[in-house]
Chain A
Amino acid sequence: MSGVVHTNTAELFLVGQDASNMMGDPAGVCYPTSTAEVQEAVRWARAKGMTFIARGAGTGLAGGAIPTAGSLVICLTKMNQIRSIDVARRSAWVEPGVLNADLSRRTSRHGLHFAPDPSSQQSCTIGGNVANNSGGPHCLSEGVTSAHILALEVVLPSGEVCILDAENSLFDLRGAFVGSEGMFGIATAIEVRLVQNPPHVSTMVVGFASVHEGAMAVSAIIAHGIIPSALEMMDAPITRAVEEYVHAGFPLDAAAMLIVEIDGLEHSVSHGSLEVKDIVHRFGATSFRVAKSSAERALIWKGRKTAFGAIARIQPNYYLHDTVVPRKKLAEVLSQVSIIAAQEQLQVMNVFHAGDGNLHPILMFDKRVDGVMDRVHRAGSEIVRVSLEAGGVLSGEHGIGLEKRDFMRWMFTENDLLFQQKLRSAFDPEGISNPHKVLPRGSGCADMSSIPPGSWV
């Protein structure tokens, strides 16, 4: 085993980071190609008294994939086979390294797709999606990753392999594992649910003169009993940045725009779209456009999903936040966010899953400027605070990782955290799988030992 553990500085540098701004301290990295090799890697680490961490594509934003405590990084990108597709049952067994977008591409000839569609879907892995219980625009009607995982093959921290599904245990261990951020063991095969491609789709782009009116329209659409397949908002700064290079025909004069998509059978789509049109006009829509072809729809989604790429045109660095608030509080919290950014003299842009109240304020900065990181972090914790005050939660899809670990007490009591720790202990009594994440420091709950350099919360 030691022969296949790489320890050269260049590789360790790469697997020491993810899409957050942190840097970890990996002791080695290996690339298993089978469940047996993952087992071997876990047992090897155990024998050496080392901790270990599963890694997918490293696109996580909360530092979940940052190795701590000199962990062995077990990188799953070489386990990228689709083992089987059951068209009749609408399910597939896949390996954790399969890329999210590849799975939908490979199942499209059966008229099926994997519903969770994070903006990072071209590069993130199904294993990472499971670990973070990831979401995406189309999770509004379809539900997040957890709703699409039927069973899991897992290498436990003990080195044993087991299947977690709805049939072989009383407790929903499958459900408990999804979203466990690599701290309950390593998923080595995943049975996913596949969803039928919709026969009809209507994609609407709506402009508003203010963010407030756009947010009110979002609440009104849901309150009216319409559950669009996606309901996304972009504010003016990000819309302009995206439009400059995607040319999706986004309204440049609007203060906020919504992408509303309705899919399904013919009449529900046509009636639903008419109702949406009616509602957004009542809330002061300044422009309304329906995609006339699938090419036009694809361009709209390209604009939405590559929005983060556009940021580089404005500032060299960004910090993408992720909180959830009740839908009725969207307008209020968005205006608080812009005040917070102004106080810290930071530019902010918003592109987010409005339909489920999932905010993604993006703070933009140049990290070479003296003291800017302090302002970014102050603004970040203020955003978390106002979201919680509005009745919201810490994270809607990026997870807690290292980033929000020490905010956990803002949302949970010591006893809530103790029971979360009990659940973790049942899977990982020694705390060796991705240690130091999620549960806050300084309580009986947290894994003991050092904090990785570069972690700043």
Chain B
Amino acid sequence: MLRSEVNLGSAVTDLQHQMASSDTVCIVGSNSTDVAPADTDASVLQAPAGLISYEPDELMISLFAGTSIADVNIELQRANQRIVVPDWGTIGGAIATRRNGLRESHHLTLPNNVLRCTVIAADGSLYQGGGQVVKNVSGFDLVKLVVGSWGLLGLIVEVTMRTEPIPQVSQWLQSVDPTASDQVNHLYKPAVITHVNEATFVLLEGNEQDVNQEISRLNGFALCDMPKLDRSLQMDRLHHLSHDMPHSIERSIRKQFDPSNKLNKHIATQRDLLT
């Protein structure tokens, strides 16, 4: 269903030309992050969508970055697998904003699950980081750099992600008990712990008997659905970053990758990354 009919290779070449010939570029996924572009003359570029290859036995999927995460997960469910990214927007958008959603407490989850990225640079050339294997230390890690780069280092066009088996059960619980935090700390590797207002939420995943046993050790917790995510928090982060030394490294990276300040000017401005 996801498999693309048209030749998306030529779509990538077209995007490269557009990138090379534009003075300002605004990169969009499906606009789920609500990052309003300030610049109305900017060319709006969007990665193509579609499956490149899926190998369930290798726990690995390659996609064009414009593919919607909901579509990816439908495809993966057939093989009883998933990717752990909140179920909205495109895969490219999730990677560009390092969207971990409720796994925020495990902020390393997403970067570790992106195995390879192909990016159209500001000058229209293609660069690739990573590889199609699960373990790789060949050269400097452009993948880690691109994950969370907010479109400031190029347009992500293709990605390879690690997939994982869907656990037998997944159960959310919540509590407002003052001992709740302490209790969840004694659980063995809960999938997620998160705090929303006064409530502690915990997600337990795995073997059914194990999960039931863990639940029976908790006092004052009730079963519940996944808590609602505040999407605006994503943008908030941009304002809360420091402006000291790491910021000057970020500026040098920008100078190297986008010397003419072509990409996502509105974000570069907010983060003071125009060079």
A357 lies within 8 A of chain B by Cβ: yes
- A356 pairs with B134, CB closer than 8 A: yes
For chain A, the count of residues having a C-beta within 8 Å of the partner chain is 85
Residues A340-371 near B (CB distance < 8 A): 353, 356-358
Cα distance A193–B112 when bound, in Å? 14
Q: Would you call B128 and A413 a contact (CB within 8 A)?
A: yes
- Which stretch of B24-32, B84-92, B221-229, B237-245 is in the interface? B237-245
B154 to chain A, nearest CB (A): 9
Contact A175 B213 (CB under 8 A): no
Q: A223 — which chain B residues lie within 8 A by C-beta?
A: 56-57
Stretch at the interface among A10-18, A25-33, A94-102, A264-272: A264-272
B135 vs chain A, min Cβ distance (A): 4
B182 to chain A, nearest CB (A): 9
A233 at the interface (CB under 8 A from B): no
A168 touches B246 (CB 8 A): yes
Q: Which residue of B lies closest to A417 (CB)?
A: B139
A108 CA to B18 CA in the complex, in Å?
A: 56
Does any Cβ of B come within 8 Å of A22's Cβ?
no
Tell yes or no: B172 within 8 A of A by CB: no
State whether the Cβ of B41 lies closer than 8 Å to any Cβ in chain A: no
Given A175-B111, A266-B213, A419-B257, residue A170 in contact with residue B250 (CB < 8 A): yes
**A415-443 vs B, Cβ < 8 Å mask (1 yes, 0 no):** 11111101111110100000000110000
B133 touches A326 (CB 8 A): yes
Contacts A164-B246, A265-B214 given; does A415 touch B138 at CB 8 Å:
no
- Residues from chain A with a CB closer than 8 A to the CB of B255 are 426
The chain A residue with its CB closest to the CB of B209 is A267
Closest-CB distance, A218 to chain B (whole angstroms)? 11
A169 interface residue, CB < 8 Å from B?
yes
Determine whether A171 belongs to the interface, using a CB cutoff of 8 Å to chain B. Answer: yes
User: Are A422 and B257 in contact (CB-based, < 8 A)?
Assistant: yes
Task: Determine whether the beta carbon of B140 is less than 8 Å from that of A170.
Answer: no
Does B107 reach chain A (CB closer than 8 Å)?
Answer: yes
Question: Is A196 touching B246 in the complex (CB atoms < 8 A)?
Answer: no
Is B178 located at the chain interface by the 8 A CB criterion? Answer: no
| A172 in contact (CB, < 8 A) | yes
Asked if A456 CB lies within 8 Å of chain B CBs, one says no
* Residue of B131, B208, B249 ringed by the most chain A CB atoms within 10 A: B249
- Residues of B in contact, count (CB < 8 Å): 67
Q: Is the CB of A163 within 8 A of B165?
A: no
> Beyond A219-B57, A265-B188, A324-B133, is A169–B250 a contact (Cβ under 8 Å)?
yes
Interface centre among B127, B150, B185, B247 (most CB of A within 10 A): B127
How far is it, in angstroms, between the C-alpha of A160 and the C-alpha of B255 when the chains are bound? Answer: 20
A159-187, CB < 8 A from B: 160-164, 166-173, 175-176, 178-180, 183
Q: Is B148 in contact with chain A by the CB < 8 A criterion?
A: yes
The answer to whether B271 has its CB under 8 Å from any CB of chain A is yes
Tell me whether A400 and B135 are in contact (CB under 8 A): no
Partner of A425, one of B59, B134, B241, B252: B252
Complex Cα gap A411–B165 (Å): 30
Q: Is A395 an interface residue (CB 8 A)?
A: yes
A444: chain B residues within 8 A (beta carbon): none
Q: Does B37 contact A (CB under 8 A)?
A: no
CB within 8 A of B140: which of A147, A225, A420? A420
Query: Considering the chains assembled together, what is the distance between the CA atoms of A326 and B56 in angstroms?
Result: 12
B residues 117-153 touching A (CB-CB < 8 Å) = 121, 125-129, 131-142, 144-145, 147-150, 152-153
Question: Quick check: A225 and B165 within 8 Å, CB to CB?
Answer: yes
CB distance from B179 to the nearest CB of A (A): 14
Instruction: Decide yes or no whether A408 CB sits under 8 A from chain B.
Output: yes
Would you give 18 A-B contacts (Cβ < 8 Å), ordered by A?
A133-B141, A162-B244, A162-B246, A163-B245, A172-B111, A175-B141, A176-B145, A225-B80, A225-B165, A265-B188, A356-B134, A357-B135, A358-B135, A391-B132, A391-B133, A396-B137, A419-B121, A423-B145
> Beyond A353-B135, A411-B139, A413-B126: 17 further Cβ-contacts under 8 Å?
A170-B149, A170-B271, A171-B148, A171-B153, A173-B249, A196-B188, A225-B81, A267-B208, A326-B55, A328-B57, A328-B58, A391-B133, A408-B139, A413-B127, A418-B127, A423-B145, A426-B252
Interface residues of A (CB under 8 A from B): 88, 132-133, 135, 139, 143-144, 146-147, 156, 160-164, 166-173, 175-176, 178-180, 183, 193, 195-196, 198-199, 219, 222-223, 225-227, 264-268, 271, 324-328, 353, 356-358, 391-400, 404, 408, 411-413, 415-420, 422-427, 429, 438-439
